[in-house]
Structure 1
Amino acid sequence: MTVLRVFNNNVVLARDASGDEVILTGRGLGFQAKAGSPVDPSKVIRVFVPSDGRDPDHLAQLLAGVPPEMIQLVSRTLPELDDAEQVSHSATLVIALADHLNFATHRAARGLTVEYPLRAEVSHLYPDELRQARALLSAVNQHLEQPLPDSEEVALALHLVNAGMASGDLTFTYRMTGVIHQLVSVIEAEYGLDLGHDSVSVGRFITHLRYLFVRVSQHQQLVSESSPISDAIRSTYPDATIVAERLAGIIELRLGDELTADEVSYLALHVARIAEGR
């Protein structure tokens, strides 16, 4: 591998044998290294491969501001979380979590505690990610002289949600969380229900919405013309279709894109399942 840019003594941007740009960490890896010089493989501790079009320079800059010990702690802990295998190898996630935890430790040292406003929504909409975040925070706290407060699990959970959606930053995740909460509230009000996250139908609905929002953001919605299956859903569940059209209106206002007929029909199917308790 060849050094492309040195960020500090422990972080360099390099080009690997395949010609891809990678971020390398290791104590003393960047010391006296210059652009164009070969990488000393004996000093490389971790190789980060940017994905989903992430800017390698930006990720490396973030990484350069985080102590290597925090990177190693997150890298070691994340793969051990239940059901987190699909995101545990994400360079972006490891860097984002380590950067957040590092900043949180500095806040804690100054006696500053942040209460995140989305705790209720995160607990309701993302119970799996919150459970993983709680386990991650517990594992990290075992290695800190001053443990971080429980409130940090909310932010960690949102990072895990964000990684699962392959979004560039938390802005999209915050917006998605608010919209999902609003949509669930509309269904509760329409049918007089008090929906819990342990409901299978609600869980399916939330998962469907998360991927719907990704399709909308990537302009890859289901076919624009109503399909036979779509027509059948609308015919079978006319009341749920009316509610789904209300939900579609909210999504269109919040995300700025009109939903296709098929997307609305599949929303109706999920609404019907929730209303029927299935």
Structure 2
Amino acid sequence: MPAEYAVIKPFNNNVVLAKHQGTEKILIKKGIGFSAKPGDRIPADTDFERVFVIENPETSQRFKQIVAENDARLVGVCEEILHMISSATGEPLDEELHVRLTDHIAFTVFRLQNNDQIENPFMIEIETLYPQELALAKEAIKMLEKALNLQIPEDEAGFIALHIHSLKTRDKLSNSVKYAYICNSALEIIEDELGIAVDRKSLDYARFASHIRYAVERIIKGNPIKNELLPAIKKTYKDSYRLAKLVGKMMEEELYAEVPQEELGYLTLHIERLKNALDN
């Protein structure tokens, strides 16, 4: 007969930590943690919504530390959030992300409980580059607020969105932050040089931000791009090309990689489009 699960720690009504055949597992099922106590048995044939195992010893140790240092309700709702994200994206839960996101949320709650202001300087870029991830992050915020009876600022959704993006792309979180930072820096250069303010809710800005994101990816990966119109672009849009070179220099400093002239050509067109949008 298959071995039963032995409850180690109930987190909330729907999430418990249990041991099964010598391995600790996170079990998610509606009502599974209701009135549960350490040592209680759960039948092996239970139809769980999700079973998650952190196999890497180092990652497992970090998770145990998070569990020991934080309220069980917080850990439980984090598990439900991760389950929601994985179900919505169709992506399996990476062990590193599992611990990283839980740790991030725990630290955020700690800061809020100590009246420490949370600000996200990249919210506009995140809204533009990762709208689907941000929608899931806002749902996560609702779950946290309900479970913890805590008001969480909207800026926090932006940080969670970056974690979700790293799950979907298997990129390191730092790359997602880098896209947003470079996009913001590029626009600041353009605004300062032209003495303008670009509407970050506009379609032209959305196109610009998207272009920067994929340009950064191509530059990082060394994937060349053709631009047969480059000579004509440089001649026709001299001022915008000058700005594109300034932005390109900033990108090279941030990425430690050369920005090809072909990329500068396409960037020139986007800068020209931003200028024309303001003129019209």
TM-score by length of 1: 0.66
| Contact 2:186/2:247 (<8 A) preserved | yes
Secondary structure at the residue paired with 1:28? strand
| Contact 1:9/1:30 (<8 A) preserved | no
The alignment of Structure 1 onto Structure 2 pairs a total of residues equal to 234
Tell me the distance in 2 between the aligned counterparts of 1:192 and 1:257. 29
Aligned to 1:207: 210
Tell me the distance in 1 between the aligned counterparts of 2:232 and 2:56. 48
Deviation by residue 1:206-264 (Cα, 9 ceiling, x = unmatched): 112122222333x33324xx642333433443322221111101111121111112211
Aligned to 1:69: 76
Aligned to 1:253: 253
Specify every segment of 5 or more residues in structure 1 that has no aligned partner in the other structure, as ranges: 1-7, 11-24, 35-39
Cα distance change, pair 107–201 in 1 and its aligned pair in 2 (3 A): closer
Tell me the distance in 1 between the aligned counterparts of 2:165 and 2:150. 23
Tell me the distance in 1 between the aligned counterparts of 2:196 and 2:243. 14
C-alpha deviation, 1:56, in angstroms: 5.3
Cα distance change, pair 161–189 in 1 and its aligned pair in 2 (3 A): farther
**Structure 2 residue 142 is matched with structure 1 residue 125:** no
**Structure 2 residue 18 is matched with structure 1 residue 28:** yes
Aligned to 1:78: 85
Aligned to 1:91: 93
Specify every segment of 5 or more residues in structure 2 that has no aligned partner in the other structure, as ranges: 1-6, 10-14, 25-42
Q: Where does 1:1-278 land on structure 2 (aligned, <5 Å)?
A: 27-30=17-20, 32-33=22-23, 42=45, 46=50, 60-64=60-64, 65=66, 69-78=76-85, 85=88, 87=89, 89-92=91-94, 93=97, 95-106=99-110, 111-117=113-119, 119=120, 121-127=121-127, 128=131, 129-130=133-134, 132-144=136-148, 146-150=149-153, 152-163=156-167, 166-170=170-174, 172-217=175-220, 219-223=221-225, 227-277=227-277
What residue identity is the alignment partner of 2:241?
A: T
Tell me the distance in 1 between the aligned counterparts of 2:255 and 2:126. 20
Tell me the distance in 2 between the aligned counterparts of 1:153 and 1:132. 9
C-alpha deviation, 1:47, in angstroms: 5.4
| Contact 2:111/2:117 (<8 A) preserved | no
Cα distance change, pair 269–153 in 1 and its aligned pair in 2 (3 A): same
RMSD (CA atoms): 3.7
What residue identity is the alignment partner of 1:255?
A: L
Tell me the distance in 2 between the aligned counterparts of 1:152 and 1:174. 14
Cα distance change, pair 62–213 in 1 and its aligned pair in 2 (3 A): farther
| Contact 1:63/1:95 (<8 A) preserved | yes
Tell me the distance in 2 between the aligned counterparts of 1:177 and 1:199. 17
Cα distance change, pair 197–152 in 1 and its aligned pair in 2 (3 A): same
Secondary structure at the residue paired with 1:203? helix
Secondary structure at the residue paired with 1:138? helix
Query: Which structure has the larger Rg?
Result: 2
Cα distance change, pair 106–246 in 1 and its aligned pair in 2 (3 A): closer
| Contact 1:105/1:148 (<8 A) preserved | no
